[in-house]
Structure 1
Amino acid sequence: MQVDRAAGDAGAFGDGRHGHGGGAPALGWLVAARVSQGGFAGILFALIPLIAMRAVRPEMAGRASALIMTLGPLGAVSGPALGGIIVGAWGWPWIFYLNLPIGALVIVIALVQMRPDGPLGAPDRTLLFETAVLGVAAAALLLGLSLSAGHGLPWLALTATAVGPLAIWWRSASSHAVRALMRTPGVAAPVSLVLLNAVTISLVEFMASFYLQRILGVSAATAGTTVLAFAVGNVVAGPIGGFLGDRWSASRTARAGVLITAVGTSLLVPLGTDWHPADVGWRLAIAGIGTGVFAGPNFALVMSNAPDALGGTAGAAQSLARQLGFSLGPALATTAWALSGYRLGGMRAGMAVAAACVLIGLLLRTRTGTVPAGRPADLGGDAPARPTRNEPADR
């Protein structure tokens, strides 16, 4: 998905040799296909955390979580480069064709390796109602954020129309599982941290790219390479964070990761006109290292503290928080920048917003983190860990 997302737009505006006509009907099919792809991707994002926690021993939860949280940035790093090569050599349709054998391989692995839980049931009226209400709210929120970034701040008012559908859903029986999850000690704070961390990541990367090109005057290629320092730091530190979460303490490791991210982000606030791309790169690398250390242990904390019956809801909550944060970050960056008349001061204000988000996260991580009685306070050290579904309780 990273590859086709990175190169799809480039291919759509490529030369006619690789394009396909069709006008509005073709566009309609494309939109329907992408909506379907996004819907099934949302299901996968919700299930992957639960599958990962059940597939490994409890004492390896941090490393398993770190692996998942590391592969995402790795795809973001490799996707644009690989997608560009494929588009240049074969044309943009191959971005999508290559997904077919990869998807088939994943299906085979799932059928062979995963134990079936039972047949799927047809969606009932409650699920259809929930899908419709949340779909309207999500469309209003994301459209408002997207249009405000490209067409002006007044479009942010569209996001307010998401409040009504969300209020209806929150008062309905459909939200019972989410409300129960958020009331579980040790869950709400880590999920909030996922949101704040995603806001910080997307805001910093968005603003750094414009700063490098508009203020320092470097090429797009140089700006892209510099911004990748964040992802490289994330990928390198992810396994370390997972190991420390298992051997030391998931809670303390997540707290350390937030602190490192706060340091790296704060160092970016005083953007200067005389900086070199390297001055931006090493600061981004520090923030990326902090995020890498934080992500896996925090992920494991949510899944460990969530009740067994709400494992899927916990995975979905993390995914939703992350995707919402990735949408909010550029919108906040654009707002701060626009209010200054698109000057350097607005970029500094945007970086300050990112630093504030991660500092709020540090406060949450420091002052919360209790878990229910009978559950491990941490996933590391000598704390007793509850067994996974695939592991006997007396092991």
Structure 2
Amino acid sequence: MQDQTDGLPPPQRYWAMAAIAVSIALAVMDSSIANVALPVIARDLDVPPADVILVVNAYQIATILSLLPFSSLGEKVGHERVYRVGLVVFTAASVACALANSLEALIVARTIQGFGAAGLMSVNTALLRYIYPQKELGKGVGVNALIVASASVAGPTVGASILSIAHWPWIFAVNLPLGLLALVLTRFLPRTHRSGRRFDTASALLSAATFGTLTVGVEQATRGQSWWIVGLFALAFIGFGTALVRRQAGRPAPLLPVDLLGIPIFALSIAVSIGSFTAQMLAFVSMPFLFQHSFGLTAVQTGLVITPWPLIIILVAPVAGRMSDRISPGLLGGIGLLVMAVGLFLLVLLPDAPHPVDIGWRVGLCGLGFGLFQSPNNRVLLAAAPRERSGGASGMLSTARLLGQTIGAALAGLALGPVIGSQNGAIWALGAAAIIAGTSALISFSRLAAQKRV
């Protein structure tokens, strides 16, 4: 069977894209689907709010430390193979999450689930180059970006909908039938190119160690760990990161795309992406605690008032993508992040007993801003990379998103736990999210000059 380099014929293409859509939506959504249930899980398992944040962090950490190694492995053994194995691991771990009866068991299952999700996310965009013909690749990337953007913010809403009719384990159990459906559909995925290069095990381990020490170090800081221990993690991150960069320098297709980070607009876009997702995750983790603990809303009501965020993104993201063909993505992204910062700041200013409509339109404003930002940012990031390095650009795009989400969840845990506490921590977390979104907007505007050279 030959590699399919100019796309699949329409019938098979649609079924292959269905497999991508279902599986990647599950993987992305599960990074935030548990957020709205965190207070319920904490109460049910009798653990402090700061500790239950590990349910989110374990998934994020496992995913981010294995994302780039799996992407490199896909180039060697075939992207579709890594994708299928990742889907099997993700689905099986979802069942383990649903059956967990302690926080420790749930964290272990979420960690394994994160490794499975990394197998999906690492090769997701690379598969699109084999599913769509070259002349329609932009269409495929646009559809994929919309799925990822929508799924990344739909988690709380889907979680709330499930909680309205079932107990919290079902937010994980629902992945079983959908995962099996996606696994059946993977038979339509194309056979992808095998590079023939040897897998760089040393670089993969250095990459995992670099991102692992960074994210675990941040997570330990949020749990009030001694600062000398946090300092050791920081030193380890610097050491592993330095060794990784030196090993990757000069390689034709480095696992860590240091060649792409040398392109100014690419590096700026990665920084903006990290900041935006940090602000988003800060908001998504802290809003359920604010709405339920301070405003007295139920988990279902919390999900409903958060719903405007994903709904508006679904409407705005495709329009913003088309606008970015005529208007600078740096300008669109900057405006979008400013709008998001204003929405977050207005949430901080909510009175003690706000009407749900007062909450909803502010949340919707955040969604409008994020929707204006996301598609244009993805476009300029991918366009800045040479065509032959689109795989590296895709891996960094996912890494930036997950790194931002991990940092955001960790900062939320810091605010809700050892530094401030759950009562006022949610307000401080939303304030920090507004500041980060505003700062990211300024970085986005700085891309206007660099964009002229792309």
Q: TM-score range by the shorter chain?
A: 0.7 to 0.9
Report the equivalent of 1:201: 280
Question: Aligned match of 1:142 in 215, 221, 228?
Answer: 215
**1:268 aligned counterpart, secondary structure:** helix
Tell me which amino acid in the other structure corresponds to 1:95.
N
Asked whether the 8 Å contact 1:202–1:330 carries over to 2, the reply is yes
1:241 maps onto 2:313 in alignment: no
Tell me which amino acid in the other structure corresponds to 1:43.
S
Question: Aligned match of 1:121 in 184, 196, 199?
Answer: 196
Tell me which amino acid in the other structure corresponds to 2:155.
A
Tell me which amino acid in the other structure corresponds to 2:212.
A
Question: Aligned match of 2:303 in 211, 216, 224?
Answer: 224
Tell me which amino acid in the other structure corresponds to 1:11.
A
Counterpart Cα distance in 2 of 1:343 and 1:130: 40
**C-alpha distance 53-153 of structure 1, shift in aligned 2 (>3 A):** farther
Asked whether the 8 Å contact 1:227–1:281 carries over to 2, the reply is yes
Report Cα offsets for 1:280-323 as digits up to 9, x if no partner.
32211101111111100110001111122321111111111100
Question: Aligned match of 1:257 in 336, 341, 363?
Answer: 336
**C-alpha distance 158-86 of structure 1, shift in aligned 2 (>3 A):** farther
Asked whether the 8 Å contact 1:185–1:372 carries over to 2, the reply is no
Report the equivalent of 2:224: 152
Q: Return 128-137 or 364-373, whichever deviates more.
A: 364-373
Question: Which of structures 1 and 2 has the bigger CA Rg?
Answer: 1
Counterpart Cα distance in 2 of 1:343 and 1:4: 23
1:185 maps onto 2:264 in alignment: yes
Equivalences for residues 1-395 of structure 1 within 5 A: 1-2=26-27, 6=33, 8=94, 11-13=98-100, 34=113, 36-45=115-124, 47=126, 55=134, 63-64=142-143, 66-73=145-152, 76=155, 79-80=158-159, 95-105=175-185, 107-111=186-190, 118-121=193-196, 123-124=198-199, 127-149=200-222, 151-154=223-226, 156-157=230-231, 159-160=233-234, 161-173=236-248, 177=254, 178-338=257-417, 341-342=420-421, 345-371=424-450, 375=454
Asked whether the 8 Å contact 1:142–1:159 carries over to 2, the reply is no
**C-alpha distance 255-53 of structure 1, shift in aligned 2 (>3 A):** farther
Tell me which amino acid in the other structure corresponds to 2:421.
Y
Counterpart Cα distance in 2 of 1:32 and 1:4: 12
Q: Percent identity?
A: 21
How far off is 1:42 after superposition?
3.7
**C-alpha distance 361-92 of structure 1, shift in aligned 2 (>3 A):** closer
Asked whether the 8 Å contact 2:291–2:297 carries over to 1, the reply is yes
Q: Return 249-258 or 84-93, whichever deviates more.
A: 84-93
Tell me which amino acid in the other structure corresponds to 1:12.
L
Counterpart Cα distance in 2 of 1:265 and 1:70: 19
**2:291 aligned counterpart, secondary structure:** helix
**C-alpha distance 175-344 of structure 1, shift in aligned 2 (>3 A):** farther
What TM-score, normalized by structure 1, do the two folds share?
0.75
Q: Which runs of 5+ in 2 are unaligned?
A: 1-25, 35-93
What TM-score, normalized by structure 2, do the two folds share?
0.66
Q: Return 290-299 or 280-289, whichever deviates more.
A: 280-289
Counterpart Cα distance in 2 of 1:90 and 1:206: 19
Q: CA RMSD in A?
A: 3.9
Q: Which runs of 5+ in 1 are unaligned?
A: 15-23, 376-395
Report Cα offsets for 1:144-165 as digits up to 9, x if no partner.
344555x435475564232221
How far off is 1:61 after superposition?
8.6
**1:186 aligned counterpart, secondary structure:** helix
Tell me which amino acid in the other structure corresponds to 2:384.
N
**C-alpha distance 61-163 of structure 1, shift in aligned 2 (>3 A):** same
